[in-house]
Amino acid sequence: MYKGSDKVLRLIISARRTTAEIAKETGLNEDSIRRIAEALKGDGYATIETTESLHGIPTAELERYAGSVFPEVSVHRKALRGAMVADLTPDEKSIGIRWARVKGFIAIEGGKLVPEKDESEVGEVAKRMSEAFSQLARSGRCEDAEIFEELFERRLLERKLVKTNTVIYSGKKVDWSLFEEKFDVNVPGQNARVGKNHPVTKLTNHLRTIMSELGFQEMEGDIIESSFWNFDALFQPQDHPARELADTFYIKGDSPLPEDEELVSRVKKAHEEGWKYQWDPKEASKTVLRTHTTAVSARYVAAIKDKRPRKYFAIGRVFRNEATDYKHLAEFHQIEGIIAWEGATFTDLLGVLKEIYGKLGFEKIRFRPSFFPYTEPSLEIEVYFEERKQWMELGGAGIFRPEVSIPLAGVYPVLAWGLSLERPLMLKLELDDIRDLYRNDVDFLTSARLDL
């Protein structure tokens, strides 16, 4: 129960009240009263009735009349003294005469003001108007409906709809003992678990910063991909073992080939000339869970339209139909990157990779020759894993073969790499099983310290 609930309840039991009235009577602010009223409503003690009423905000013109009288009244007074139209002030001339005539206070005969009502009658009207004015100043409303209407019509008031909440006792029997304050602010609170980012999220964000600092732009792509972009665009022959069900997760339904038919036929030609087989568009239309983020790189290379140097990176999930063990996951993240620039060399590739791992705190890395269908030369990056006294593979890299980047965009060379995110994370967190990252063990997640 909110502090003050009992006071409010007692008040509404005696008579229904608006939240503003309750605020005034209890000395609490209206926001607190609204909260208390909602709580009482939730507990069945009260209902809240909301009504909208029209309020009038005095305009500058009305404020002008506040200290004196309305111009039609002063015109009438002057008429009583036998004044001429010419004797009137500008307000009296432009506004006063019109309303004095509408209200039947005066007539005009040959430039002379002629009173048509006596002083006490007009004085009565003047009194009503000043009373209305002081009510308006107090509450934004006035009881005299006729004058209220007139003031809107004369644009002396602006319209404003105001909501009023009335709190009404429901009749539910009250157990006052429930309203005693049970909350002791001096008792220390229990330790609460605070939320924190998962180590994978932390490292992902950190890598985004590193790659941005190195001048790379982030690429975006989907985890559901066509075989065309995941394999064919990367010069991976259609009978390559990695494309088999045993390695790749296929998804029901075909994915359309790119609309650019010339692009498709250039890729087809590269396969048929390079690998000597009949390229099948049906095979390329199969839908997969992407097996590597290099599919994203392929799409971005294909979008290159000029010779301007480009540096892109992506961090995303990939999927492999693979048995898991202490260093293998079937679903993991890759840090992908490409540099498309005529002047780039293989040594640049080694330098950039060394730089990225250096920024991650891995000084002891080595490169080994390797093979990928889409790069030449190709290499693997390894880091020394003290715990197991062995080198651990972090990812692959190379220069996209001309069979890849020429059909896609007519560019060469394009440096490329795809690195595991979880492997370095495993080393940083000193895990000896990579699967610990995804067991969702709260103790592990709470205690995991990732110093970046």
> Which range binds ligand PHE by CB under 6 A, 20-28, 89-97, 185-193, 410-418?
410-418
| Residues in contact with ligand PHE, shown as a per-residue x/- string from 116 to 155 under the rule CB under 6 A | ----------------------------------------
Q: Is 290 an interacting residue with respect to ligand PHE (CB under 6 A)?
A: no
State which residue, 113 or 421, has the beta carbon closest to ligand PHE: 421
State which residue, 199 or 396, has the beta carbon closest to ligand PHE: 396
Burial string for 18-41 (b: 16+ CB within 10 Å, else e) reads: bbebbbeebebeeebbbbbbeebe
# residues near ligand PHE by CB under 6 A = 11
State which residue, 58 or 373, has the beta carbon closest to ligand PHE: 373
The minimum distance between CB 296 and ligand PHE, in angstroms, equals 10
Residue 163's DSSP bridge partners are 52
Measured in whole angstroms, how far is the alpha carbon of residue 294 from the centre of its chain? 30
The minimum distance between CB 291 and ligand PHE, in angstroms, equals 7
> Which range binds ligand PHE by CB under 6 A, 42-50, 196-204, 324-332, 391-399?
391-399
Distance CA 379, CA 369 (A): 4
The minimum distance between CB 375 and ligand PHE, in angstroms, equals 5
State which residue, 105 or 235, has the beta carbon closest to ligand PHE: 235
Measured in whole angstroms, how far is the alpha carbon of residue 365 from the centre of its chain? 40
Q: Is 292 an interacting residue with respect to ligand PHE (CB under 6 A)?
A: yes
The minimum distance between CB 372 and ligand PHE, in angstroms, equals 5
> Which range binds ligand PHE by CB under 6 A, 148-156, 194-202, 354-362, 411-419?
411-419
- Interface positions, 360-379, toward ligand PHE (CB under 6 A): 372, 375
Q: Is 294 an interacting residue with respect to ligand PHE (CB under 6 A)?
A: yes
State which residue, 169 or 231, has the beta carbon closest to ligand PHE: 231
State which residue, 71 or 418, has the beta carbon closest to ligand PHE: 418
State which residue, 89 or 345, has the beta carbon closest to ligand PHE: 345
The residue number whose beta carbon is nearest to ligand PHE equals: 418
- Interface positions, 74-103, toward ligand PHE (CB under 6 A): none
> Which range binds ligand PHE by CB under 6 A, 117-125, 145-153, 261-269, 394-402?
394-402
Ramachandran region, residue 419 (left: φ > 0; alpha: ψ -120 to 50; beta: rest): beta
At a CB cut-off of 8 Å and minimum separation 6, what does 324 contact? 330, 435
- Encoding tokens for residue 301? 């290379």
Contacting residue, 398, 407, 413, 424, with ligand PHE by CB under 6 A: 398
State which residue, 233 or 416, has the beta carbon closest to ligand PHE: 416
- Interface positions, 416-435, toward ligand PHE (CB under 6 A): 416-418
Contacting residue, 396, 407, 413, 424, with ligand PHE by CB under 6 A: 396
Distance CA 379, CA 372 (A): 9
Residue 210 near residue 359, CB atoms below 8 Å: yes
Q: Is 5 an interacting residue with respect to ligand PHE (CB under 6 A)?
A: no
Q: Is 316 an interacting residue with respect to ligand PHE (CB under 6 A)?
A: no
> Which range binds ligand PHE by CB under 6 A, 50-58, 136-144, 279-287, 389-397?
389-397
- The residues that touch ligand PHE, with contacts defined as CB under 6 A, are 292, 294, 372, 375, 395-398, 416-418
